Structure 1
């Protein structure tokens, strides 16, 4: 049976080793009284009959089941929606259950995994139902402030307020293939709307979710994410140690001239981010997108294990970094900071993208956001220059006081060709300009820009 169509309990069983349902709260006095009033708080004719039919069909008395579960040996609070109960809609009693589950997670210091399948807020309870979104948003924020990770799994469908709170508000967002995802459900969106925009695949392409995961891989994927984002309790009492810089993978000799440094860094066969990430981590998972409608394939962000500890990473891949890339990196750094996880950045870009599309997408604001994220991080950030260090686009991902370089890299305030053009020098003077800029790794070390030059493995 496709995971998207499982019942609430089947969905939990599909990802958990074991689980025990949590107690159903009595709820606020006013909400309990209103929900138990004839036909609910609005006196909506036929609401009681609809709930009775839903109970008979599903065996549930509400649209969400909450549980304490172990997933890959990690204790977790799980929220699972029953779509067959009034379309998995959120009513007042749903809000009571969700609030109690978030509170339990805070009391026990546990992550929250949401298995979502909902059509949105319950019409038969009107504004009393809609305001549950505020309760859920507050509970999510409290858990975020407590440094507890939240992972959402978007089943089919995930629409309305359930998407705009439990789903889109999670730290890591996974979706099942083909799931309908969007604030507007299929019956209320414009008739000419592109259905791809409301699909898991469309949301991934637009930078709003992190991955589309087939049902047969979901359990293992959740296990890896929980292992990465939930450090052992005893580690939370210790100071966070910085990530060690990776060893150099390219040529070990230092360049003799500035222009030689540029040529080496631009060499197509030079080791890039993927090679460094593969050599550095034992295993890793990646996040995707800036949550603002953009994805930059030229930047890799995520979390990995190295020597038994989790390290977050943001790695430029040698292309001009786009606004979405800077925003994704900033999101990664802030999430790692909140969870107490050290960060490694790999710097490798000719510079920030400067075309019209980049300007329209807010290049300046995105770069500023990346600068701010690194500048304010309380966890240590380690940076390694592995190739081109092109101006502010590279500096935005470079730790202010913990930057190293490989022998086949350079860092410059501006590309030597552009510097020569600005100074009205001819092409023959580009090499001299590169030397004057003092962009070689050994120059950067002498200038105090980097801490040192990393040796090969």
Structure 2
């Protein structure tokens, strides 16, 4: 049974009707009822293709947040073997919002880590909905240090609304921990490839995504702030999140144009949540391709290439000033 987003309600009605018909497909009229159900299936497929043909940025946000999308733990189970989880930051505690460890990818030893949101109420609470605390980023630094020491490529899977903004996290140095993690990403002498599999929220995402190669799933998003947060600041109204999503240029397609990411990974029709196995296979293919592109590069070249990538990001594709920025935001400012 699918979980439907708001804009998928017409699709839910058609697919629900087809299921009802199949439940009634017994007796003498069973064949005829099945034909009607198949006709509804065809109509549903056409509507699904139409809905996903040109999703607005806000609808992509909704798809990226879909609770049924495969998460970090699913990707590790599907794509990596001999996974040995490692816990703790060796300073305060373990943060379940960031998981990682040693593994093999296509029989190649790697370190894999990422944000984990959880699948049900209990696991989401345990994982803090994928919002990492300082100890999560310090654990990521520890794992990247280990990878650097043993010459292991690093694969990161990004899926977070943002770093946890709670009082305790701030007291334990949240901003410093994210900065250290970002610095570590930029300085290790091994290949680092990152994939945004859902939400890439602000510094909480960048802390493990400053890689040699960065990819995004087709319907994932990556931005400096959530549309709701942006709307609250610019318009003083979180309800303008649709306008904010347009202005933020947060889609994979926009960010590929801006040079923020290197490739967009296709998703099955209807999003990764409709066919997780196919989506995860596509991600695996992209990870292998990115690692192949980096093979043979020495430590100096990997570090230099990574830093050059981020310094030049967006330089050749700067967007026009957004018409979405409200007038009151610039009124009264010194223009001299």
- TM-score interval for Structure 1 and Structure 2 normalised by the shorter chain: 0.5 to 0.7
Residue of structure 2 aligned with 1:451, choices 237, 262, 287: 262
1:254 touches 1:407 (CA, 8 Å); kept in 2? no
Q: Cα deviation per residue 1:359-390 (whole Å; 9 max; x = unaligned)?
A: 11111221111011111010010000001111
Structure 1 gap segments, 5+ residues each:
1-250
Q: In the superposition, relative to structure 1, how do residues 425 and 365 fare at CA in structure 2: closer, same or farther (>3 Å)? A: closer
1:295 touches 1:325 (CA, 8 Å); kept in 2? yes
1:255 touches 1:408 (CA, 8 Å); kept in 2? no
Flag the structure with higher helix content. 2
State the shift of 1:427 in Å: 4.2
State the shift of 1:255 in Å: 5.8
Q: With the length of structure 2 as denominator, give the TM-score of the two structures.
A: 0.59
Is 2:263 aligned against 1:263?
no
Flag the structure with higher strand content. 1
1:367 is matched with 178
Is 2:67 aligned against 1:272?
no
CA distance in 1: counterparts of 2:133 and 2:196, whole angstroms: 18
CA distance in 2: counterparts of 1:296 and 1:254, whole angstroms: 38
- Larger Rg over CA atoms: 1
CA distance in 1: counterparts of 2:237 and 2:60, whole angstroms: 20
Structure 2 gap segments, 5+ residues each:
1-48, 118-129, 267-278, 282-336
Q: With the length of structure 1 as denominator, give the TM-score of the two structures.
A: 0.44
State the shift of 1:400 in Å: 3.9
1:300 touches 1:317 (CA, 8 Å); kept in 2? yes
RMSD across aligned positions (CA): 1.6
1:338 is matched with 149
CA distance in 1: counterparts of 2:77 and 2:174, whole angstroms: 30
CA distance in 2: counterparts of 1:339 and 1:345, whole angstroms: 17
Is 2:93 aligned against 1:294?
yes
Greater relative contact order structure (CA < 8 Å, 6+ sep): 2
- Where in structure 1 do 4 or more consecutive aligned residues deviate above 2 Å? 424-429
Is 2:212 aligned against 1:404?
no
State the shift of 1:454 in Å: 1.6
Aligned residues: 206
2:25 is matched with none
1:254 touches 1:442 (CA, 8 Å); kept in 2? no
CA distance in 2: counterparts of 1:254 and 1:357, whole angstroms: 43
Q: Cα deviation per residue 1:318-353 (whole Å; 9 max; x = unaligned)?
A: 311111100000100011011000000001111111
1:283 is matched with 82
State the shift of 1:425 in Å: 4.3
Residue of structure 1 aligned with 2:139, choices 325, 328, 349: 328
1:311 is matched with 110
3-state SS of 1:282 partner: strand
